[in-house]
Structure 1
Amino acid sequence: MEKADGADSGHRGTDHGARRAARADRPGGQAVREGCGWIQRLPGPAYRLALPGGGGQETVPPGDHCLRGSSVSERLGRGLLEHFEVVDYVVNGEGERPFAGLLEAMAHGRPAPEPSDVPGVFGRSVDGRVLGGGRSQLTRLDDLPVPDFDAYFQELRECSNLRTILPQVPVETSRGCWWHRAHSGRPSRGCRFCNLNLQWRGYRSKSPGRVADEIEVLSRKYSTLRFAFMDNVLNPARMGAMFEAIAGKDGDLDLFTELRVPVPRAVFSGMRRAGVRRVQVGIEALSTPLLEKMGKGTRTIDNVAVMKRCEEFDVENHSNLLLEFPGSDASDVAETLRVLDFVRIFRPLRIVRFWLGEGSPIAENPGAFGLSAVRNHPWYRAVFPGELAERLPLMVKTCRGDRERQRKLWGPVRDAVRRWRRDHDAWKRRFPCLPLLGYSDGGNFLLLRDRAVSSGAPKTYRLKGISRELYLACDEPRPIADLLREFPSISEVKIRAFLEDMTKKRLMFQEGDCCLSLATHENIRRFCPPPPG
């Protein structure tokens, strides 16, 4: 192996035929695998070689260097081979079958296999050209073995200052995103800012029983109750059964998962019984026209409903509000501010700024979003020498567009979210164990209590008879047409007047012709499973 040369850092001038021959002479075909996730763009050996005056030959373990992971798919992986001769192979996309195929080729007397020998692997030809690629994925995720974390837990045991850590173990129930899969071949569909699925093709998920069994095995083996689902999105057709299967196992689990709306109340209740205590929901915006621009395929009222469910079932909501999306306008800001006035009773969202990622639909078609001059982000110059920071395909991009206009446009929302956090913290200090907007059911009447007050007693509202029934009927987003059919004895004028009054008092939320009650049930029995029979 030759040391990369400063700003050039490429493989020009290298005799790749001689390099392949030298690798072929190594008995046994030793392989060195390096994982590349979102944070670790390059493994240590390649990184050191890229730096001027770097560690040199002695810093690189002997063997064929193969990179795999989410940040080395497609152009990102090809670019590494084109600029770092220390890298011999890159797994493109899902890694199990390609990497196993590469090892098998090396074990059968071919320690320097041609890239075309193994589907799903990039490599170099004798003359230095990058060849190969493609994808080679598992058909059934249930065929995967249970992950082995022995080395990690052994290290914890050996480090005295780490022995008290209660680690959170990752669990994978699916790969890919069914929303993107549903619109494959149409890059303008799906979440337009998202590049989380560069390594997958299509969407696959494990069976509910397999997921529950895997968690049980890992919990008993490593004496842990804390697990985090690594999925980009759970399978909506299997969610209910999966959490029911998990809840049927022994153990008081502490689970984290990401979600996509809508999430029906029955499914959310099952999640809580299974042990879900923290979620990150793909909320992103509180304006349906803006959600449409983002390609989310969701509605604001569904986002509000899931925030309500988190409050009701005491689940920490760590979701984001994405600001400064290209092409967003004053009407998007105005609608967001309007909705913020309704959701102030729920846990505040976290503000994040739009960033442009390699492989996202926006990066693939920037002109459609008013962006131009897309290139690697300048911060990479602190890591990569010379022109390499410009030439190497990297994950985070910068561009020209309306960034400054967007920053000013969304200023009022930033201020409103800061006030939301301040007020919410103050209200929860006064009422730490109660919802800020809750109700108690008296059978033929409801008592609603609004505790989002700076001082004094909560505001109390009493709904009797048909008013109670209408309010409870909107526990999940309901079209007004459904209410008219469900309550035929009540005129449309009276129903709409009731809904308008509740909305003015911020006790309900309306979007178009859909309405949602905002108060959550305060009775602890909502956590309890129904009695048998």
Structure 2
Amino acid sequence: MRIVLVCMPWQALEFPSLAIGILHERARRCRQPHEVKGLYAHVRWAEYLLERSGGRVTSKEYTAIANNGIFHGIGDWIFSPALYGVPEWNVEGYTQYLRGVGFDPSLPTELHRWTPDFIDTLADEVLAMEPDLVGFTSTFMQNVPSLALARVLKQRRPEVLTAMGGANCDGPQGAALHRNHPFLDFVVRGEGEQTFVDLLDALTEQGRLEAIPGLCWRDGKGVSRVNVERQGAFPMHDVPAPNYDDYFEQLGRSSVNGFIHPLLVLEGARGCWWGEKHHCTFCGLNGSMMKFRAKPPELIWEEMGRAIERYQTLDIIMVDNIIDMKYFKGLLPHVAASGWDLRIHYEVKSNLTREQIQTLKAAGVVHVQPGIENLSSRVLKLMRKGVSGSQNVQVLRDCEEHGLTVAWNLLYGFPGEEPRDYAGIIEQMPAMVHLQPPTGALRIALERFSPNFSDPSLGFGDHRPAAFYPFVYDLPEHELMDLAYLFDTVSLGLTGEAAAQLERAAARWKEAHANSELSYRESRGRIHLRDRREGWPEQDSVLASPFDVTLFHALQRPMSPAGLTERLQQAGLSVTAEDVSARLSDWKARGWVFEEGERFVALPTRANPQNVRVSISQLQEAQSR
């Protein structure tokens, strides 16, 4: 069979598709040989936008929609005319919705009217490849673009088979997509590595469709049939290294090549070892398969090395939802010793030690997503994060010190949280402006597969598909209930002015960060503090007494006043609990320590000559010379 696997918008332009790369190689496990080709249509869409707009709509505008449109379905709505075969679809209602949530609808509305022509042009390209089967991978806003192309392909050449898989097809979502879109011949629910192979074998008379777990298919009358879901997690040692030849070849001759810096997308692990024990209440990212499993460190290192050499790319995105802790000894030291000047992204848990952060840095990890989510220990407990607020501040400090960029959101809206949980946090945010701020303070979304969604006792039992879905799909609400990933529900926890106060405080932190520094250096047994935080007096201070120096060192990790007193006494210092409490109170007033949950942690970062902060005024002055 000749198979074309398509990656539709709104995949990030700099990312090849991991799913296509893996399935390209998994097809080799079939009983008969197949010809597999990947088509990176998200790059084609960027080319189309650039040409049709006369250079006005670039990869920057594409990326803005891809990054910011998920929670409002912008990318899906843009392609809805192509799905329904009309010039435009629900324009008045949806543009009103976008204005209501703070988005300018002008660009989405313009692109909306271009998509039928783009899909027709893309269908020409796909059909010219003479495929027997066209497969789509769908995550987040790839649903409607994929459905639109599948409809046109089936309309023009009914004998071409269409199949769809990916995160948007997990559980009831996949069944809903299949039964409501008759131009989809097959939908794969859950992990597709084995189901895809079994499907290709069945299509070449090497198996029966009804016997393939995880497959949706159609009987002789075109009726949707939904097989039982596949049981058990697919073993990671059987997941092949992805083949990205088609992506790099197509990008290399693309008109948008000069705008895109490609990255390698690699996978060492699936599932979440923390979620297996304590599923964070708001998180639905692991879908129906939480079980954690990882490739052996030596295998992922071998795959990483081959990919770097083959594609001559040093920027790597590890898509693991959480790093395998074995990699700190079995993988990262090998990467550090390689001599490659890598730039790696990893998702980690936020209770990392300073030594673990040093290991990440040495291996070339420059960007981490540690799942900080909040700085209140009580709220973190409500969401089952398994860390404290002071631990989260410590990891922010240590990542800042080692030059690691941290991506995090300050989430609120958890049942049981109260304004008092945030009062102390908001009060101390000005002291932390030198540390990397959250993207913003955001109310949690209700996601399918999260405990908040599946467990009504948590308070979100009354929910409905998010407000944008009826503008995107021509489906009744009961079908959208199965198809949707995001849901609207009652606002719990922080509301009104209390929520607005938190959002304003986070915004001020974000604004002040670039011009702020609170650092220290040690010399001859003394600690020299340099304070250049926005909103604080410019000040240089010296800690010289054994009491102050020992206390400062002890505060590199969160500790209680009682624990600090004991630590200082063990060091031979004659101090009382009152002495320690008085000093902590003074240092908190100066913004040198963070206090939360009866724990204190130091805020200054060790001075790093490579991390130079220049104020906006200094930069403007330099540019004017």
| TM-score (norm: length of structure 2) | 0.70
Tell me how far 1:172 sits from its aligned partner.
0.9
One-letter amino acid of the counterpart of residue 88, structure 1? D
Cα deviation digits, residues 104-133 of structure 1 (max 9, x gap): 2222355xx333x12232334567363313
- Residue 286 (structure 2) aligns with: 197
- Paired AA for residue 460 in structure 1: S
What is the 5 A alignment of 1:109-508?
109=206, 113-115=208-210, 117-124=211-218, 128=223, 130-135=225-230, 140-163=235-258, 165-183=260-278, 190-351=279-440, 352-369=442-459, 371-387=460-476, 390-391=479-480, 393-402=482-491, 406-425=495-514, 427-428=515-516, 436-454=517-535, 457-480=538-561, 482-487=563-568, 488=570, 489-490=572-573, 491-493=575-577, 494-508=579-593
CA distance in 2, matches of 1:478, 1:327: 26
Contact 2:418 2:493 in 1 (8 A): no
Structure-2 separation of matches of 1:221 and 1:383: 40
The structural deviation recorded for 1:45 is: 4.1
- Separation in structure 1 between the aligned mates of residue 262 and residue 610 of structure 2, nearest angstrom: 31
Counterpart residue identity of residue 204, structure 2: A
The structural deviation recorded for 1:315 is 1.5
Question: How many Å separate the matches in 1 of 2:376 and 2:557?
Answer: 19
How far apart in 2 are the matches of 1:413 and 1:164?
Answer: 37
Does structure 1 retain, via aligned residues, the 8 Å contact 2:377–2:596?
no
2:135 aligned partner, one-letter code: R
TM-score, structure 1 as length reference: 0.81
Q: Deviations over 1:131-179 (max 9, x none)?
A: 3132255654233322111001001111244156321111111101111
- Summarize deviations over 1:326-381 as a string: whole Å, max 9, x none: 44322233243134243222122111332111221111124532x35412122122
Query: 1:375 touches 1:390 (CA, 8 Å); kept in 2?
Result: no
Question: More deviation in 314-323 or 509-518?
Answer: 509-518
Q: What pairs with 1:77-116 in structure 2 (closer than 5 Å)?
A: 77-109=174-206, 113-115=208-210
Q: Partners in 1 of 2:281 and 2:547 — Cα distance?
A: 44
Separation in structure 1 between the aligned mates of residue 547 and residue 522 of structure 2, nearest angstrom: 13
Change (3 A) 1:319 1:481: same
CA contact (8 A) 2:455 2:461 kept: no
Cα 1:73–1:337 shift into 2, 3 Å: same
Aligned residues of 1:358 and 1:394 also touching (Cα < 8 A) = no
**Structure 1 CA distance for aligned equivalents of residues 273 and 493 of structure 2:** 34
Corresponding residue of 1:15: none
1:483 Cα deviation after fit: 3.8
The verdict on how the C-alpha distance between 1:471 and 1:60 changes in structure 2, with shifts beyond 3 A counting, is farther
Q: Which residue in 2 is equivalent to 1:44?
A: 146
CA offset at residue 182 of structure 1? 1.9
- Give unmatched runs, 5+ long, in structure 2: 1-82, 86-130, 612-625
Q: Per the alignment, do residues 456 and 470 of structure 1 end up closer, same or farther by CA in structure 2, a change over 3 Å counting? A: closer
Residue 229 (structure 1) shift? 1.1
CA contact (8 A) 2:268 2:318 kept: yes
Partners of 2:418 and 2:494 within 8 A in 1 = no
Mapped partners of 2:355, 2:135: distance in 1? 44
What is the CA-CA distance between 1:199 and the residue it aligns to? 4.5
Note if contact 2:265-2:316 (Cα within 8 Å) is conserved in structure 1. Answer: yes
Distance 1:392 1:486 in 2: 56
Structure 2 CA distance for partners of 1:215 and 1:419, relative to 1, 3 Å = same
- 2:434 touches 2:518 (CA, 8 Å); kept in 1? yes
* Contact 2:433/2:534 (<8 A) preserved: no
Distance 1:134 1:201, change over 3 A: farther
Shift of 1:445: 1.3
CA gap 1:485/1:405 in 2 versus in 1, 3 angstroms: closer
Tell me if the contact between 2:267 and 2:318 (Cα under 8 Å) persists in the aligned partners. yes
**CA apart distance, 1:35:** 0.6
Shift of residue 268 of structure 1? 0.3
Q: Distance in 1 between matches of 2:481 and 2:216?
A: 16
Inter-CA distance 366–336: structure 2 relative to 1 (3 Å threshold)? farther
Give, in angstroms, the shift of residue 524 of structure 1. 4.9
Partner of 2:134: 32
Identity of aligned residues (%): 26
Residues 57 and 141 (structure 1 numbering): CA distance in 2 closer, same or farther, change over 3 Å? closer
Q: Secondary structure at the match of 1:228?
A: strand
Instruction: Verify the 8 A CA contact 2:209 2:217 in the aligned structure 1.
Output: yes
| Cα separation, partners in 2 of 1:207 and 1:464, compared to 1, 3 Å | farther
Is the Cα contact below 8 Å between 1:98 and 1:118 reproduced in 2? yes
Which deviates further from its counterpart, 328-337 or 381-390? 381-390
2:524 counterpart SS class: coil
Matched AA of 2:603 = L
Count of aligned pairs between the two proteins: 478
Amino acid at match of 1:147: P
Q: Secondary structure at the match of 1:475?
A: coil
SS in 2 for 1:194: coil
Per-residue Cα deviation, 1:395-434 (whole angstroms, up to 9, x for no partner): 3444442369724431011111222223323x24xxxxxx
Going from structure 1 to structure 2, the CA distance change for 1:220 and 1:5 (only over 3 Å counts) comes to closer
Q: Are 2:424 and 2:596, in contact at CA under 8 Å, matched by a contact in 1?
A: no
2:604 is aligned to 519
Compared CA separation, residues 222 and 393, structure 1 to 2 (3 A): same
Offset, 1:499: 3.0
Deviates more, 1:445-454 or 1:217-226: 445-454
Residues of 1 paired with 2:150 and 2:305: CA distance? 41
Residue pair 1:36, 1:43 contacting (<8 A) in 2 also: no
Q: Secondary structure at the match of 1:331?
A: helix
In 2, are the aligned partners of 1:125 and 1:131 still within 8 Å (CA)? no
In 2, distance between residues paired with 1:511 and 1:163?
48
- SS of 2:265's equivalent in the other structure is strand
Q: Cα distance, 1:485 vs. partner?
A: 4.5
Taking a change above 3 Å as real, the CA distance of residues 93 and 398 of structure 1, as seen in their structure-2 partners, is closer
C-alpha distance in 2, partners of 1:455/1:516?
Answer: 19
Distance 1:408 1:225, change over 3 A: same
Q: CA deviation at 1:320?
A: 0.8
Q: Determine the structure 2 residue equivalent to 1:24.
A: none
Q: What is the aligned-residue RMSD (CA, Å)?
A: 2.9
Structure with the larger helix share: 2
Alpha-carbon distance change, 317 to 244 in structure 1, aligned in 2, over 3 angstroms? same
Query: 1:31 is matched by which residue type in structure 2?
Result: L
Question: Does the 8 Å CA contact 1:376/1:389 hold for their aligned counterparts?
Answer: no
Q: Which amino acid aligns with 2:136?
A: E
**AA matched with 2:368:** V
Partner SS state of residue 530, structure 2 = strand
Structure 1 residue aligned with 2:618: none
Moved more, 156-165 or 286-295: 156-165
